[in-house]
Structure 1
Amino acid sequence: MRKGSIAASLFWLSAGWLVLALVATGFLLTDLYSRALDASLSETLEFHVESLAGALLEEGDPSSADIALSDPRFDRPRSGWYWVIRDADGALYNLSTSVVGIDLPDMTGPSDTRGRRSAIMDDVFGTRMRVVERAVTLAPTTYQIVVTGNLSEILELVEGFRGQAFIVLGAVGVMLAIMSAIVARFALRPIDRLSAAIESVREGESVAVTGTYPREIAPLAEEVNELLRSNAQIIERARNQVGNLAHGLKTPIAVLRNEAAARKGALADVVVTESEKMSTMVATYLERARLAARTSVVGKKADPTMIMLRLTRVMRKIHPDCTIAFQRPDASLPWFRGDEADLEEMAGNLLDNACKWSNGQVGVRLDAERSETGTMLLIRIDDNGPGLSEEDAQKALRRGVRLDEKTPGSGLGLDIIKELVDVYGGSLALKRSALGGLLAELRLPTARLGAMARPNAT
């Protein structure tokens, strides 16, 4: 789970709530257990008081040896389990073996309607006790029967229970947290599938978001598909408008140029010159609009290895005196994320220029350049021609600038390449080649490797 993800938020929210709930449950269970043990102790002491009261009334003599309790805890010294029979003045008439050598504290406070009192006290050894006292009248004297139970033992049991309860609840909390994480991942799996479907569209593996999704996110998938359809319609309309504009402007400009060329004079020469400029400008901006529309289409990719193999075969025929060395990459090379024709136009122009200006030797290499921002496709084309200085390399990328005015052309070739490179978010650099001429480095975005294997073309 990534930081800031929905699954992480659900997990930590559930974990926090589980911690609070389980801690509260632990204290509640401990309190209930403590109350149950204390109630059981009180009932036991009440039973012992009733037993002593019954024996006293039956014997009629408070000092009788037959008045006793069978619980062996009353026979152990310092056990916290004591009983005595005494009068209102504190004179002892009978007592348990455990009381020998100590004095039980006197109880204070009012009695209930049955003549009973209950309190929590400490004996001389620091043992906490629950004390129950009952008044029994044996005419003409009223006796007090006092029975105590060890409350410290119950407190120790409660502490032990609390520790065990938190261990068990902690284990339950861990299992619930794991289950919560699993449930969160399972519940968010449709979002992962939607993300993968959108990524598939972006990488060119699909033209629309496909699959069945829960009703909570199904509208999102439908909106993405509608956005793709709307984008395709806008691009198609733009292409049609560009084509209409091309047809609408080319004919009038051609008529002006032809009419002016058929006449003599300064005005005709000006019209011919300016119409040529207009034709060049129209072609340039129409080409830019066409490129922008084409590269806006989502879901295209191309195999650079196959394209470069095809381009090298064509250039060898066009430039038979030039030796083109293409170092073919392995199958792990990523694909270009864009239109195949655009890659052919960029790489083809660079390769054609290298062949034109070389002294018979051109090298082509394809690599994957990895960085913190991602992976880029790197196309290197170098030659052994005269090359360019750093200043001339910068000039060559400007619109309409020609370093050799003797060669026919508009000077827009490299600039059109640069325009395409900018549209795709790539880069073009012109450097000094190890062969002595010019090195063109073209960096372009990549897509995931295509599912189909590349043919073993050479």
Structure 2
Amino acid sequence: MLRSLRVRLLLGAAIAIFLALAAAWVAMTVLFERHVEHRIEADLIRDGLQLAAALSVAPDGTPVLEHEPGDSRFFDPASGLYWQVSTPQGVLNSRSLWDQHLPEPKNVTSLEWQNRILAGPFNQQVLLVERFIRPVRANTDVLIQLAHEQRSLHEAREEFGEELALFLAILWLILSAAAWAQVELGLRPLRHVRNEVETLKRNPRERMTAVHATEIEPLTRAINELADAREKDLSRARRRAADLAHGLKTPLAALAAQSRRAREAGAREAADGLDQAISAATSAIEGELARSRAAAIRAAPSGNTTIAQPLIESLVGVVEKTEFGARLVFEVNVAEDLRLPVAGEDLLEIAGALIENAARYARRRVRVTGQAIAGGALVVEDDGPGIESEKVAEVLMRGGRLDEAGSGHGLGLAIANDLVDATRGALTLLRSELGGLKVTVAWPATDLSASR
């Protein structure tokens, strides 16, 4: 799965977004807590200023308040909100403190309010603000302290964190979906490249278009250059192989003539040896020429179709005049309007190889059938010895001698298989109802065949 570029990008984006949102959750939770603390501190300082405004000192040095802050929590015992004013001679505190006291001051001045978090009354963690104030016409400083319990702050932070986590989880899903869309859009040019490579595989003469994203243009240019070099190398190799094969035909014909003279002169063993060598060399040449023809078919543009019946009839007429075809009955069941997705010369070679092969090994009957399924199919059957099922792979081996497969069929099937493969078809071998071999060639549906 990790070999998929799409999965890698999506997984990386999902993890990166998750980590970013997790960091945002931590930071926003901390910021929320600090914001609430600052708000509480500001409220406590406001109440402290109200206390300072109403504060005076009695002649005996005890603090006196004209009125208390109006927050109702100051009047409920252990409510979590407390105030206390004190001098060395006396202490006043809110009803909420009941019989408790706020902690002793620490590093407190009269210049500004100080704040700290510590253990407070009723075993509560509190935020404490404190400051020394000297009222008008007083000779002593008064300590003003106000405290707010921290438990409600922690609860608010937890509730905020839960709601924020839910929101960020939904946001993660939305951003992951956006990342998926971005990855799909980013990989779409590669899908076009893949489709063009498939076209290039079907037709080596095709080339990839240059209209691609800037980042992909070097890749398409390199593929086109590689295809050009490959086509040139294959073309040179095919020409050399074809030239060599054609060049050997004349010496082989001369050797055949020498074999006939040797046989007429009574040297039958030498003639038989020459005939076997000539036959092997001829088969190799025919196979090489067939492969050259198959390579040329692959390189040619596809899309041609051929009406099958007249071509099949003409082939049967030719084979009937041969020595091995004259003794057979040929049955042709091909519709007049059947079109096969193959060029005429290619169908001539494929059907010719199959019909000739069937005629060579049939006992009395050969049947040729055309079928309008998918892109079209051609079936050639005979009542000969057939081929054992375990020998089929060996029979269709490229470059093999099929008469060595054990059932008598010759080189024609291997040549036909190469040509069928070059025309994007598939060749299968089965047992025929006639008792011999059934060869089926089927082509996939194409735009042209589908429109008929």
Asked whether the 8 Å contact 1:350–1:440 carries over to 2, the reply is: no
Residue type of the alignment partner of 2:352: G
Residue type of the alignment partner of 1:76: D
Asked whether the 8 Å contact 2:84–2:94 carries over to 1, the reply is: yes
The share of aligned pairs that are identical, in percent, is 23
How big is the shift at 1:49? 2.6
Q: Determine whether 1:97 maps to 2:95.
A: yes
Q: What is the match of residue 179 of structure 1?
A: 178
Q: How does 1:293-312 map onto structure 2 within 5 Å?
A: 293-296=292-295, 298=298, 306=306, 309=309, 312=312
Q: What is the match of residue 23 of structure 2?
A: 24
Asked whether the 8 Å contact 1:355–1:362 carries over to 2, the reply is: no
Q: How far apart in 2 are the matches of 1:253 and 1:56?
A: 131
Q: 1:452 aligns with which of 444, 448, 451?
A: 448
Q: What is the match of residue 283 of structure 2?
A: 284
How big is the shift at 1:6? 1.4
Distance 1:194 1:423, change over 3 A: closer
Residue type of the alignment partner of 1:129: V
Asked whether the 8 Å contact 1:198–1:209 carries over to 2, the reply is: yes
Asked whether the 8 Å contact 1:80–1:128 carries over to 2, the reply is: no
Q: How does 1:8-407 map onto structure 2 within 5 Å?
A: 8-57=7-56, 62=62, 64-88=64-88, 91-92=90-91, 94-99=92-97, 101-107=98-104, 109-112=106-109, 114=111, 118-123=115-120, 125-136=122-133, 143-204=142-203, 207-255=206-254, 257-258=256-257, 276-296=275-295, 298=298, 306=306, 309=309, 312-315=312-315, 317-318=317-318, 319=320, 321-326=329-334, 344-354=348-358, 357=362, 359-360=364-365, 362=367, 364=369, 380-383=379-382, 385-388=383-386, 390=388, 397=395, 399=401, 401=403
Asked whether the 8 Å contact 1:431–1:440 carries over to 2, the reply is: yes
Residue type of the alignment partner of 2:238: R
How big is the shift at 1:440? 2.7
Q: How far apart in 2 are the matches of 1:28 and 1:281?
A: 84
Distance 1:206 1:169, change over 3 A: farther
Q: What is the match of residue 7 of structure 1?
A: 6
Q: What is the match of residue 372 of structure 1?
A: none
Asked whether the 8 Å contact 1:368–1:378 carries over to 2, the reply is: yes
Please give the secondary structure, in 1, of the residue aligned with 2:381: strand
Distance 1:223 1:295, change over 3 A: farther
Q: 2:438 aligns with which of 437, 440, 443?
A: 440
Q: How far apart in 2 are the matches of 1:190 and 1:278?
A: 56
How big is the shift at 1:83? 1.0
Q: How far apart in 2 are the matches of 1:403 and 1:123?
A: 101
Asked whether the 8 Å contact 1:201–1:299 carries over to 2, the reply is: no
How big is the shift at 1:86? 2.9
Q: How far apart in 2 are the matches of 1:34 and 1:125?
A: 23
Distance 1:260 1:434, change over 3 A: closer
Q: How far apart in 2 are the matches of 1:294 and 1:361?
A: 27
Distance 1:425 1:354, change over 3 A: same
Asked whether the 8 Å contact 1:45–1:147 carries over to 2, the reply is: yes
Residue type of the alignment partner of 2:77: P
How big is the shift at 1:50? 3.4
Distance 1:201 1:287, change over 3 A: same
How big is the shift at 1:36? 1.6
How big is the shift at 1:237? 1.7
Q: How far apart in 1 are the matches of 2:425 and 2:77?
A: 93
Asked whether the 8 Å contact 2:307–2:336 carries over to 1, the reply is: no
Q: How far apart in 2 are the matches of 1:49 and 1:13?
A: 54
Q: What is the match of residue 323 of structure 2?
A: none
Larger mean Cα displacement after TM superposition, 104-113 or 233-242:
104-113
Q: How far apart in 2 are the matches of 1:328 and 1:59?
A: 128
Residue type of the alignment partner of 2:385: G
In the alignment of these two chains, the number of paired residues is 434
Asked whether the 8 Å contact 1:242–1:286 carries over to 2, the reply is: no
Runs (5+) with no aligned partner, structure 2: 321-327
Give the TM-score, by structure 1 length: 0.75
Q: How far apart in 2 are the matches of 1:264 and 1:354?
A: 30
Q: How far apart in 2 are the matches of 1:454 and 1:422?
A: 21
Distance 1:223 1:420, change over 3 A: same
Asked whether the 8 Å contact 1:378–1:441 carries over to 2, the reply is: no
Q: How far apart in 1 are the matches of 2:210 and 2:167?
A: 43
Distance 1:410 1:243, change over 3 A: farther
Larger mean Cα displacement after TM superposition, 182-191 or 386-395:
386-395
Asked whether the 8 Å contact 1:52–1:68 carries over to 2, the reply is: yes
Q: How does 1:414-429 map onto structure 2 within 5 Å?
A: 414-417=413-416
How big is the shift at 1:55? 2.5
Q: Deviations over 1:103-133 (max 9, x none)?
A: 1243364435748654324555554321223
Distance 1:169 1:340, change over 3 A: farther
Q: How far apart in 2 are the matches of 1:85 and 1:395?
A: 105
Larger mean Cα displacement after TM superposition, 238-247 or 106-115:
106-115
RMSD: 4.6
Please give the secondary structure, in 2, of the residue aligned with 1:322: strand
How big is the shift at 1:84? 1.9
